[in-house]
Amino acid sequence: MTTRGHFGYSERMIQDLRNLLQGLGRRLLPAPAAPVTLNDPEWAALCASVPFIELLSPDEALALRERIGQFLARKTFKGIGLELLPWQRNMITAYACLPILHLGIDAYRDWQTVLVYPDTFAPEQEWVDEAGVHHQAVVPQAGEAWERGPVVLSWNDIAADGAVIVHEMTHTLDAGNGDVNGFPPLPESMSAADWTAAFSAAYEHLREELERGREPAIDPYAATDPAEFLAVACEYFFFAPGYLRDELPEIYLQLAGYFRQEPHLRAPEISTHLPGAAA
Ligand SMILES: [Zn+2]
């Protein structure tokens, strides 16, 4: 064994120490989320089944593929009463990552799990388990995002309309500063006053139109409350951007600033129907 004075260490000792520290490190540190990358056939299958992808610019498509890998590495999918296949998980992830193309994966840091039911679920379900115990639970409608809780989706609904996924993801973004109230955490470059003015005016106008029995410009579900107004507006923003820009230009402008995207440049209207899914 060669030593280099009192404070010298042999190569062997240094290597032993390294091995020891690495072993400790492996035990003490949580394993980093393994990067997940879609292989080329998976990506090609996704491009074929999710219509918005082929309308993205090359840079946006690259960013989407990266976000999808990050999302798959960090989020847990659970099928409730259905076996969720990899292509279904990938399809959900693609829609979920569209709003955060430029916001980054950390915008979804407050929640972990995506629960997928086979079909639209009743608001209240009762069932008897194998042990004969009676259960009763309130479960959400087509899709629901709870603050910091799981995002709940129904496969039949999202296969018929992928915009439902963007709707639910918008609620989780909205929750980013506490309440789900139609006011997500805005970047410093945006004016909170301008956001509030635009959304308050459009929301009040929609409610007035409905009260007068007039045909509303957007889905009347948006009149439920400001959080639903935002989520519904985001569905139009990403998938009927030409229409939203014409009908509610102030809302389009605010959303373009927030998401840092201009979907009307992709196409005025973008299908959200999964090929092969029932209408
Ligand atoms: Zn909603």
CATH for 40-265? 3.40.390.10
pLDDT score, position 70: 96
Ligand 1 center to 232 CA (angstroms): 7
pTM: 0.80
pLDDT score, position 145: 58
pLDDT category at 4 given cuts 50, 70, 90 is very low
pLDDT score, position 135: 60
Q: Residue 94 pLDDT > 90, yes or no? A: yes
- Please state the domain extents for the chain: 40-265
Q: Residue 137 pLDDT > 70, yes or no? A: no
Q: Residue 125 pLDDT > 60, yes or no? A: no
Lowest model confidence (mean pLDDT) among 2-16, 23-37, 53-67, 202-216: 2-16
pLDDT score, position 9: 46
pLDDT average, residue stretch 175-201: 96
User: Are 254 and 198 spatial neighbours (Cβ–Cβ below 8 Å)?
Assistant: yes
pLDDT score, position 101: 97
Ligand 1 center to 205 CA (angstroms): 19
Q: Residue 162 pLDDT > 70, yes or no? A: yes
Ligand 1 center to 125 CA (angstroms): 20
Ligand 1 center to 26 CA (angstroms): 42
Q: Given the DSSP bridges, would you call strands 143-145 and 151-154 parallel, antiparallel or unpaired?
A: antiparallel
Ligand 1 center to 17 CA (angstroms): 55
Taking a 5 Å cut-off on Cβ, the residues next to ion ligand 1 are 228, 231
